[in-house]
Amino acid sequence: MPAPAFLGGLIFCILCYAVSMVRGKRLPPGPRRLPLIGNVHQMPKGHPWLRFTEWKKTYGNIMHIDILGKSHIIINSAKIAKELLDKRSSIYSNRPHFIYESVHYDEPFALQPYGENWRRQRRLVAQDFSLGMTPRYFSLQEKEAAFLVRTLLQEPDKLFSEVKLRIAIIIMRVTYGYYIQSEDDPYLTVVLAAMTNFSKATAPGTFLVDFIPALKYMPRWMPGSGFLKTAEEWNKIFFDSTMNIFDWCKSNLDTGKSLMPNLCGRYLQNAGGKMPEEDEKTLLWAASCVFGGGLDTNMSSALTFYMAMLLNPKVQAQAQAEIDSVIGKDRLPSIADKPELPYIRSILAETYRWSPAAPLGIPHAVTQDDVYDGYDIPKGATILPNVWGMLHDPEAYPRPMDFDPERYKGSDSEMLKVTDLVFGFGRRVCPGIHFAEGTLFAIIATTLATCDILPGLDENGKEVLPTYSYTPGTLTTPEPFTLRLRPRSAGSLALLVDVPSTIE
Ligand code: HEM
């Protein structure tokens, strides 16, 4: 396409977007928009949930912002989120499609439009990680939690990398039957590279083409077209990260190297080696969502837990007292002990609340025009539940920045109000919730049962406490901090050492 025609087309597209957006609509209130760019100039570089929480004071519980002509509805109250995303889930379960023009992330169901393909993939994962199925993985989760603590006792500086590695090991093992042996494992490094690219690609503004699809026709010689090559490379990494490990699982079912049970192995075996190509493709992409959905989220919550413990030694002490009185000192706590440990459950809920891994959830999109409380919600609008804001609303959670497990008064229904928001909404609700809870519970209970969690030391030997500070992005993780673990007793150390290193 010649350059002037291309630019003309581009401007036309932008104008069409903008005009179609505003005509005759009674949109929810929001900050004033500028022509063409809308509210882009008011969007902070990171942590938009903080700005949205601030804006709530002016615009209320449902707001509208405009990003380059595209409507975004920000929901600031749990009640409205439930009314729209849960109760009207038949029309609020789509995903916004703007990220798909650059790298083809639209195969895994987590990002797929609402529809049959999404449903077929999701069913596979939801079944394999349902409440009744997850106990199969308890011993793996408990063992990896113990290995994590054992390593951190020796090498506390490895906090971030070791948490990531242990969670990755669990996920690869349950998805493909593959046991990662080290951080340099090529199946792991490729998937981590794909995830890094993914978070870059989906950060608004990385690829303008995602907002202005006409840019994909840009001639390669044109300055500024470098994104086409980048997108091509990222596509390859993305496909490799999905295919290679799946192929490994398939070809190692008969050799016995693929450890059972695992998600792919189970479905492949059930098909008796004759899975139709279409079903295999469904399984392949469904499986890729487990890593994408489970790694950063679980890692974020595990690190938030450690941060919260460093800042709240009294909470640690109370948790240890509960474990000592219910479990005793002769064995490690197990995930099956969860019903008997209300204070540990409260710590888990408070970890989710204090810093939800996805502060704005994962965006939904609405598939038809809708009206809520007299406001128009235009078809195609992106819906962003401000989960962080809801969980830091001082009316629902007094002194919201305090990490206070007591606020639930041991009530599971109060804790459920938190998990109900943190794991998403309606038909898109996280299918990994029970599995995720198992991993986190094991990490929390094992660490507290065996160790005191102490601040790291600076070069002068002075203790350094972390600050509540998180990375930007759809999924957010604590900024680096350090800690030290001290065994609570010779006995607790022995319990950790006794955990056999055999792979299962
Ligand atoms: C602390 C851990 C986790 C948190 C906080 C979390 C949170 C979320 C959230 C907020 C969503 C978006 C739901 C929505 O669109 O409304 C989601 C979706 C999803 N999660 Fe999780 N998740 C966690 C762990 C996991 C694990 C371990 C898995 C592995 C099975 C997983 C797999 C997924 C998948 C596949 C989706 C996409 C669902 C869909 O689009 O239909 N998550 N999760």
Chain-centre distance for alpha carbon 452: 28
Residue 99: predicted pLDDT: 52
Mean pLDDT of 20-25: 57
Beta-carbon contacts of 400 under 8 Å, excluding residues fewer than 6 positions away, are: 391, 392, 393, 394
pLDDT band at 200 (very low <50, low <70, confident <90, very high): confident
Percent helix / strand / coil, the chain, rounded to 5: 55, 10, 35
For residue 198, pLDDT over 90 is answered with no
Residue 460: predicted pLDDT: 97
Cα–Cα distance, 137 to 170 (Å, whole number) = 9
State if residue 424 touches ligand 1 by the CB under 6 angstroms criterion.
yes
Residue 97: predicted pLDDT: 72
State if residue 63 touches ligand 1 by the CB under 6 angstroms criterion.
no
Specify the 3-state DSSP secondary structure of 455: strand
- The pLDDT tens digits for 213-264 are 777 777 778 887 777 888 889 899 999 999 999 999 999 999 999 999 999 9
Pocket probe mutation, ligand 1, options 116, 123, 124, 430, max atoms within 8 Å of Cβ? 430
Residue 204: predicted pLDDT: 59
- The pLDDT tens digits for 291-339 are 999 999 999 999 999 999 999 999 999 999 999 999 999 999 999 999 9
> Which domains can be identified in the chain, with CATH numbers?
23-498 (1.10.630.10)
Alpha carbon separation from 19 to 23, 36, 212, 436 (Å, rounded) = 6, 9, 15, 44
> DSSP letter at 460?
T
Q: Is the pTM of this model over 0.85?
A: yes
Cα–Cα distance, 156 to 172 (Å, whole number) = 24
Residue closest to 420 by CA, chosen among 59, 86, 185 = 86
Pocket probe mutation, ligand 1, options 105, 123, 164, 423, max atoms within 8 Å of Cβ? 423
Residue 100: predicted pLDDT: 54
Chain-centre distance for alpha carbon 427: 17
| Nearest residue by C-alpha to atom 30 in ligand 1 | 432
pLDDT band at 44 (very low <50, low <70, confident <90, very high): confident
Residues flagged as binding site for heme: 430
Residue closest to 288 by CA, chosen among 96, 103, 106 = 106
Averaged confidence pLDDT in the chain: 92
State if residue 267 touches ligand 1 by the CB under 6 angstroms criterion.
no
Residue 14: predicted pLDDT: 47
State if residue 195 touches ligand 1 by the CB under 6 angstroms criterion.
no
